[in-house]
Amino acid sequence: MTAEGPRVVEVGEQFVVNFSVNAKPSSFQAPDMKDFYVLSGPNQSTSQNFQIINGKASQSITVTYTYYLQATKPGTFIIPPAIVTVDKKDYNSNSLAIEVVGTQKQPQTATQGEEPSAQQPVPDEELFVRVTTDKTSVYQGEHIIATLKIYTRLTISGFGSSEMPDFAGFWTKDIETPSQINLQRENVGGVIYSTGIIRKLILFPQKTGEITISPFKLETYVRQQVNTPRSIFDDFFGQSYKDVAKMLESKSVVINVKPLPAGKPDAFSGAVGSMSIESEIDKTQVATNDAITIKIKVKGNGNLNLIEAPKIDFPPDFDNFDPKVTSNVTNSAAGQVGSKTFEYLLIPRHAGNYRIPPVSFSYFDLARKQYQTLTTNEFKISVSKGREDESVAVMSGMSKEELKILGNDILFIKPGPFKIYPAGKILFGTIQFYGLYAGSFIIFLAIVLFRRAHIKKIQNEELVRNRKANRVAKERLKQASAHLKQNKTEAFYESILKALWGYLSDKLNIPVSELSRETAGKNLSTRITETVLVDDLLSLIDACEMARFSPSADSQAMDKVYADSVKVISKLEQNIR
Amino acid sequence: MKKTAILLLMIVLTAAVSAQRIYDLVEKGNLNYMSGDYELAIEEYQAVIDSGYESPELYYNLGNAYYKSNKFTNALVNYEKAALLAPDDEDIQHNLEMARQLVVDKIEKLPEFLPKIWYRQFIGLLKTDQWALISMITFPISLLLFLFYFFVRRIGIRKTAFLLALFIMLVSASTFIFSYNQKKLVYNNSYAIIITPSVTIKSSPDESGTELFQLHEGTKVEIIDQLGDWKEIKLSDGNVGWLKLSDLVRL
């Protein structure tokens, strides 16, 4: 059920409101129209249509309820929906908004009694064209609806030549409008005009900055009443009219096109609006050389026609072709709405498991004023060996493929944990570093010097003992001779041995306790050239040791031992080095 | 006594805590890098470096984060630092090459004396501290052997001790020099990277100097002299000129 009525009326003007139903209603409940004075109504009229086409009969019925109303006061009033009952079901009509404006002066052309002229100029405010846009400041790629409209308070008899504005800097698309211009009443600044939409376009700015839409020109013929010369025929045929041509020209419109904000995502290719993306694949398990179809569908409202095919990184083993693009787009006052489908054909050449990476699609969302990036699902395709594959395999075996370098990127970070140390702490050059060298060298030097001094001291002692050795031995021998005289055998030999060992100890610089027959002989032989002397000494010592504990006291033997001892010591004194 | 003990304990504890915090920061940086938040990763790595720590891996990761956020010059600087600390690391060398490819200026390198390169490679085998440690250990050993030489009577021992002492003293002296050179190369080097997108090199250290040539960010130069705010630089092809200190960042 629909309700129809004028949009704008004057106070006191009579107008018609129709409610039409495409069925036969059992009851009609009129809406409340208290804001208007009801002159007459509801007047019911029925029209019926009966058709037989190819033996099929169809019937349509329209019932119209007509009200004649008069506006009484200015303002905007709403006629609420009317309710009809058809087959025990209630249907509502749409509500109507009617604007009532105050009384205004009548168009001058119809004024009687004015000085008539043959070529009355048509005033500008009576008839003009306008180019209106729904927005004047947009982002690049955001759609604008431009409407070319004619406003008139006169009777238009026809149109002549027209010059459409060149929408330079825009990508344009016509929005379908009825080919016949439907005049509608509209209130412009308190004056009621009949308006007609000549053309409606959807514009997508292609560059940034201020873009001027050049004026729209339209030659219009206006029917004017001609008053003179009056003749009998004129009176008879009614008033005579004349068509007057007028060139109408709209003002130019300036659109400020803002560039899209910075931070464009990588996948952004100029899409603006609100969109969604979906992808589908016809099969994920194929044999080699079987075709796979992947469809990427971008749906939404925006500059869909300008969207480029998203780039998909197909595995290099797949043969792929340029996508087939189909678009299903309608241009309307809301913008460009619909979908665009990209169909990719893939032919896998080798068996294996492959992955089609997700497709990213970015657009600039006008509502949120930011970039949105949508991502489709990734697909996993498993390709099995087809029957024809054998020949391909043989071929591929003959011509080995080079390793395909797909990209070049930096290596990944070292995930750690790794050693982190305070910066700039270097051993070299620190006090500890040099200190170690200096310290160890000082210790070294100290040890060397101390040892040197010590050795010197010891050597001095040895020298003294060495020099004294002869004297000490002589004193001891003197003691032995005293014992000899007293015939004390044991004491005599003891003194002789003491003298011999003591002499050796002093000369060889070996303590008496460490001296033995062997050590003495060995040490002595290194310091003496005449080895006979060593043997003499050793045999003398042996003789003394033997005699010392023998009970017999042989004075002759004792004399000999004494003499030998004196001889050996003096000889040693001469020969030892 | 008790007080000092507590104080000492506190110092040790805070040191341990801050070390733990450092490792946590690095770990957080790594996680952010893996999830693609490169800016955050940069902040965390940089915080570790700012608090006085370093390691080739850290510079390398920071370089990676800079590279991923398209700050190639910063990436290059950090890769260079990492490469100085760990000259043999192949990952670092690879990424350094990647970053170097993006440098605008292509400068012919003067051929270097081959033994010099070998020497640098050899001393690069160990860090300066490691060389220094070897030198520090071998020096007293050498002295000890000299003591043997001085005070042992046996001719054979004395002979071997002397030769061994001479050899070890030589080792100590050469590692001392290696340590010194390595330290100079890594920490006191005179290399710098240009960070201004484009800079004009002058013939003298003032604005009115004759313009000699143009350099772009990422180019590695050697600083050979300075005068106030100005640095005299030398390119690897031998060209010399002056530029402002603020155009450079030292390695």
In a domain, A376, yes or no: yes
Instruction: For A506-564, write each residue's pLDDT tens digit.
Output: 877 777 777 777 777 777 777 777 777 778 888 888 888 777 777 666 777 778 888 88
Residue contact A414–B147, C-beta within 8 A: no
A36-53 vs A56-71, strand pairing mode: antiparallel
- Contact residues, chain A, for B55 at CB < 8 Å: 418-421
The DSSP H or E segment spanning A296 is strand A292-302
Number of domains in chain A: 4
Same domain, A79 and A158: no
pTM of the model as a whole: 0.43
Residues 6+ apart with CB under 8 A from A207: A140, A169, A257
From A361, A366, A371, A142, select the one nearest A262 (Cα to Cα).
A371
Say how far apart CA B208 and CA B224 lie, in whole Å.
Answer: 21
Q: Is the confidence at residue A368, as pLDDT, over 60? A: yes
Q: Is A430 part of a structural domain of the chain? A: no
Alpha helical stretches, state H, A318-388: none
**What's the pLDDT at A443?**
92
pLDDT band at A212 (very low <50, low <70, confident <90, very high): confident
What is the C-alpha separation between B62 and B41, in angstroms, rounded?
A: 8
CA angle A507, A513, A515 (to 5 degrees): 50
What value does the CA radius of gyration of chain A take, rounded to a whole number of Å? 65
Residue A359 lies in a domain: yes
* Rounded distance between C-alpha atoms, residue A402 and residue A80, angstroms: 77
Distances from the Cα of B48 to the Cαs of B91, B92, B96, in angstroms? 21, 19, 21
List pLDDT tens digits, range A561-575.
Answer: 888 888 888 887 777
Pick from A335-349, A393-407, B96-110, B134-148 the range whose average pLDDT is largest: B134-148
Bond into A42 cis (ω within 30): yes
Bridge partners of A60, per DSSP, are: A49
Residue A424: list chain B partners with CB under 8 A.
52, 54, 187
Look at B128 and A426 and tell me if their CB atoms are within 8 Å: yes
Model confidence over A231-254: pLDDT tens digits?
A: 555 555 556 677 777 788 888 888
User: How far, in Å, CA of A527 to CA of A540, rounded?
Assistant: 19
| Sign of the alpha-carbon dihedral angle for B241, B243, B247, B250 | positive
Write down which residue in A205, A233, A257 finishes a domain: A257
- Sequence length of chain B is 251
Contact pairs from chain A to chain B, CB under 8 Å: 97
Is B2-100 a domain of CATH 3.40.462.20?
no
Predicted confidence at residue A419, as pLDDT, reads 80
CATH number at residue A216: 2.60.40
> Nearest-CA distance from B95 to chain A in Å?
5
| Residues A440/B144, Cβ–Cβ less than 8 Å | no
Check which CATH number belongs to the domain holding A64 and give it. Answer: 2.60.40.740
Which of A39-43, A101-105, A144-148, A332-336 has the lowest average pLDDT? Answer: A101-105
User: Would you say A108 and A123 are in contact if contact means Cβ atoms under 8 Å apart?
Assistant: yes
ipTM for the predicted complex: 0.73
B4-38: pLDDT as tens digits:
666 666 555 555 556 778 888 888 888 888 888 88
How does residue B2 score in pLDDT terms, banded at 50, 70 and 90?
low
Mean pLDDT, chain B, integer: 83
Domain formed by B191-250, architecture: Roll (2.30)
Chain B: closest CA distance from residue A423 (Å): 5
- CA pair distance A218, B47, nearest whole angstrom: 71
pLDDT of residue A446: 92
Tell whether A270 and A240 lie within a shared domain.
no
- Closest A-chain CA to B58: A420
pLDDT tier at B40, thresholds 50, 70, 90: confident
Res A240: pLDDT: 66
pLDDT of residue A229: 56
CA dihedral A392, A394, A395, A400 (to 10 degrees): 110
Domain range for A514: 458-575
Q: What is the mean pLDDT of the segment spanning B49-58?
A: 85
* Same-domain check for residues A165 and A227: yes
Q: What is the pLDDT of residues B76-104, one digit of tens each?
A: 889 988 888 888 888 888 888 888 888 87
Contacts with A294 (C-beta within 8 Å, 6 or more apart), sequence order: A279, A280, A281, A282, A312, A343, A344, A346, A356, A379
Question: Do residue A80 and residue A127 come from a single domain?
Answer: no
Nearest to A304 by CA among A425, A209, A173: A173
Name every chain B residue with its beta carbon within 8 A of the beta carbon of A422. 52-54
Q: Any long-range contacts for B99-105 (C-beta under 8 Å, 24+ apart)?
A: B99/A410, B99/B63, B99/B67, B99/B72, B99/B75, B99/B218, B100/B76, B100/B218, B102/B72, B102/B76, B102/B218, B103/B76, B103/B216, B103/B217, B103/B218, B103/B219, B104/B216, B104/B217, B104/B218, B104/B219, B105/B215, B105/B216, B105/B218, B105/B219
Q: How far apart are CA A168 and CA A206, in angstroms?
A: 9
The two three-digit tokens of residue B15, written as one number: 């040191």
For residues B154 and B188, give the distance between their C-alpha atoms in angstroms, rounded to a whole number: 49
Q: Is A211 within the bounds of a domain?
A: yes
Query: Based on the number of CB atoms within 10 Å of its own CB, is A21 exposed (0-12), middle (13-18) or buried (19 or more)?
Result: buried
- The reply to whether A402 falls in a domain is no
Asked if residue A497 and residue A387 are part of one domain, the reply reads no
The 3-class secondary structure across A173-209, one letter per residue, is: EEECCCCCCCCEEEEECCEEEEEEEEEEEEEEECCCE
Between residues A45 and A120, the one the model is more confident about: A45
Establish if A289 belongs to a structural domain. Answer: yes
Q: Which two tokens stand for residue B207?
A: 């604005």
Residues A389 and A283 placed together within one structural domain of the fold: yes
> A416, B132: Cβ pair inside 8 Å?
no
**Dist. CA B190–CA A434, nearest whole Å:** 25
- The answer to whether residues A107 and A127 touch, using CB atoms and an 8 Å cutoff, is no
